[in-house]
Chains A and B, each alone.
Chain A
Amino acid sequence: MAQNSAELTPLDYTRYDFKDPESYKVRTHRGISEDIVRQISELKHEPDWMLDYRLRAYRHFLDRPMPDWGPDLSEIDFDAYTYYANPLAEGDTKKRWEDLPSDIRNTFERLGIPKAERDYFAGVGAQYDSGTVYHKIRDDLAKKGVIFTDTDTAVREHPEILRKYFGKIVPYNDNKFSALNSAVWSGGSFVYIPPGVDAGIPLQAYFRINANAVGQFERTLIIADKGAKVHYIEGCTAPVYSENSLHAAVVEVVAEPSAKVRYTTVQNWSKNVYNLVTKRAVAYENALVEWVDGNMGSRVTMKYPSVYLKGRGARADILSVAFASEGQVIDSGAKAVHSAPDTSSKIISKSIAIRGGRTSYRGLLHVAKGATGVKAAVRCDALLPDAISRSDTYPYNEIHEEDATITHEAVVGKIGEEQIFYLMSRGLRESDAIHLILMGFLAEFAKELPVDYALELNRLIQMEMTGAVG
């Protein structure tokens, strides 16, 4: 019975597979060169330091070889992408949905963003290819000194905060794609929560690729000052094209002492997108950073959210989920770098590979000399409902203090014939039985999502969730 899981239609992209006519106010020529990098900086009227930064990053990008230790990236042709395309004039970000061109407004309406903003969020940003087309934060938060804007605006309006952190958590020379992002970045969110402020309900950013073969390179920087608290959520989708696209974001998170940051991603790119993202956080004394990272879409994803625990008592909690179907490779994982005493980390990775999809967990646990009293736990659960899919784990441990308490569990499960029979004997059709098992497997993740995202996940796995008693 289990081999019939090929009947399963795991994810339905049709809902996201619509495109607007490509009408851009500003668009660079295809391909990348120093000229293109200069053009982007000039369009943004950037200060010299940022242009210098971009150019240094671009040179590093040219010198840096493609990573060869993970998924196959040989089909990426950097000359085939457009690196900047903005439907609005640069900097013309709207504060009201009705001020957007109707195509774009309809796109975000279809994706449910304005409604979600009304229902759930304290602030919303919307990026369309390279342009931040909409950004708004609730007045009460703005009055408390919370900054939530796009990163381009932050370069102009908050240079003193931005320069203190920009590129410090993820240096441009971290990897080839952080270098590329640092050279051509556009948009992304800039969040600053002042000391002691709790942002309360989440902030959300939505990233949409619309045009064919356009790369998206947003740059996000989140700073929670001492004792501050914030939950930031991002969603991403794109239509399906025959040519592939590239999404190479850089996300930097800073949790100052006793701050709490949760960063939730529900990535549902279409299967023609290479999603190569660098996400890293620094947690100081007694701070907590939580990554909740769901990867359902893309052709190839390489993403390893990291937390550098730099102050005594800092904590990291990383929950990552991968769902790979036919033609998809999701290479994800987590890194916890303990460089201070009494720090702790918990990493949970859950993956499902079906219909020939492939998932990998790649993780690093590092305990530096002097970081005594560290506690770290890693758990990797993989579910392989059929025989043609694949899941691997590549855990790396570098432990330089003997008193560290480390636990590591890795389980690869199949959906058992007994489980399916049991559920079918209660009247569930085979596909419903499998959906129920899959949703159960992901429940730990789903319960961490805001309600609309959790519902979306349910819908995606085509499990009808009906209200239960209790």
Chain B
Amino acid sequence: MSEEHTLAVKGLHASVAGKEILKGVTLTLKSGELVAMMGPNGSGKSTLAYALAGHPKYTITAGEALLDGKNLLAMSPDQRARAGLFLGFQYPVEVSGVSLSKFLWTAYSQMHVGDEADSDRFGADLTKHLGYLGLDNSFLKRPLNEGFSGGEKKRTEVLQMATLAPRFAILDEPDSGLDIDAIRSVGETVAKLHNPGMGTMVITHYQRILKFIRPDRVHVMVDGVIALSGGRDLAEELERKGYDWVKVGLAASQASGT
């Protein structure tokens, strides 16, 4: 019963402060797909996420990004969010004096302008999602991200994703800085929340979280392009061989002109 949605990125180039980071990224994410985006530091994974979400610091110099055929790049960040795109931040931002519950409700109601923002439904789902993440109800009264531990921040990002039920979620390093138990909790929750109506992309350096998320496909980004794509076993291969192995392969394929 879920509709099929498509996020299509074609030849995307993006720069920050005049420095080109993305050098032609092409990928398609469809509803129901769960993919991992891996790659070494500085390869452009986060830039791809922020550029798609519309961060003003990133300038798109070429290419396009379409959500169900609509030009994402012409939309403001909030329009992109309302079109169904969610970005889970690597470093979530603190907002003093705004309780998590108030913030979640504010965001939820923004998403449901037109249809009815249903507070009963909202509350029931929230309780369920808190349970998934092993968070207590009292957590909702705390100011958004303020004084949160690293793990609490990452869980809160996933909680926001769950509340907003996006068509496409891009999670930027939901595992960084977490201990093993927290990685498991976040990973399992992301897998649980993933559904046929949603496309999910998880950005990570390590395959550890992927054991819980179990992606359908793995992309590897190197130097601003997707250098390699494969199945779940690619992540394990990377863990063994390191990113240098991909870089060497990429250099070879560029030299041979393929």
Say if the beta carbon of B76 comes within 8 Å of chain A.
Answer: yes
Nearest CB in chain A to that of B120: its residue: A469
Question: Do the beta carbons of B106 and A424 come within 8 Å of each other?
Answer: no
Question: Do the beta carbons of B55 and A436 come within 8 Å of each other?
Answer: no
Given the interface pairs A425-B53, A427-B110, A469-B122, the reply to whether A436 lies near B101 with Cβ below 8 Å is no
Assembled-state Cα–Cα distance A430/B81 (Å): 12
Say if the beta carbon of B8 comes within 8 Å of chain A.
Answer: no
Tally of B interface residues using CB under 8 Å: 42
A residues within 8 A CB of B63?
Answer: none
Say if the beta carbon of A418 comes within 8 Å of chain B.
Answer: yes
Assembled-state Cα–Cα distance A168/B53 (Å): 63
Question: Do the beta carbons of A432 and B56 come within 8 Å of each other?
Answer: no
Question: Do the beta carbons of A422 and B78 come within 8 Å of each other?
Answer: no
B residues within 8 A CB of A442?
Answer: 97
A residues 149-175 near B (Cβ < 8 Å) are none
Question: Do the beta carbons of A470 and B137 come within 8 Å of each other?
Answer: yes
Question: Do the beta carbons of A469 and B93 come within 8 Å of each other?
Answer: no
Question: Do the beta carbons of B110 and A426 come within 8 Å of each other?
Answer: yes
Given the interface pairs A421-B56, A426-B160, the reply to whether A436 lies near B103 with Cβ below 8 Å is yes
Q: With contacts defined as CB atoms under 8 Å apart, how many contacts are there between chain A and chain B in the complex?
A: 103
Contact of A440 among B81, B96, B105 (CB under 8 A): B96
Say if the beta carbon of A467 comes within 8 Å of chain B.
Answer: yes
Assembled-state Cα–Cα distance A470/B103 (Å): 12
Nearest CB in chain B to that of A2: its residue: B56
Nearest CB in chain A to that of B124: its residue: A469
Given the interface pairs A425-B81, A427-B82, A469-B140, the reply to whether A436 lies near B122 with Cβ below 8 Å is no
Interface majority SS (helix, strand, loop, mixed), chain B: helix
Given the interface pairs A425-B77, A469-B105, the reply to whether A432 lies near B110 with Cβ below 8 Å is yes
Q: A419 to chain B: closest CB distance in Å? A: 5
Question: Do the beta carbons of A428 and B96 come within 8 Å of each other?
Answer: no
Given the interface pairs A419-B93, A430-B76, A466-B109, the reply to whether A424 lies near B98 with Cβ below 8 Å is no
Residue picked from B55, B77, B107, B141, most chain A C-beta under 10 Å: B77
Say if the beta carbon of B87 comes within 8 Å of chain A.
Answer: yes
Say if the beta carbon of A120 comes within 8 Å of chain B.
Answer: no
Assembled-state Cα–Cα distance A443/B99 (Å): 10
Chain B interface residues (CB < 8 Å from chain A)? 53-57, 76-78, 80-82, 86-87, 89, 92-93, 95-99, 101-107, 109-111, 119, 122-123, 126, 137, 140-141, 143-144, 160, 164
Task: Name 17 A/B residue pairs within 8 A (Cβ), A-sorted.
Answer: A421-B77, A422-B92, A424-B77, A424-B81, A425-B80, A425-B86, A427-B78, A427-B81, A428-B107, A429-B110, A439-B98, A444-B97, A465-B102, A466-B105, A467-B105, A469-B122, A470-B99
By Cβ-Cβ distance, the 3 closest A-B pairs, closest first, are A440-B97, A443-B97, A440-B98
Chain A interface residues (CB < 8 Å from chain B)? 1, 416-419, 421-430, 432-433, 436-437, 439-444, 465-470
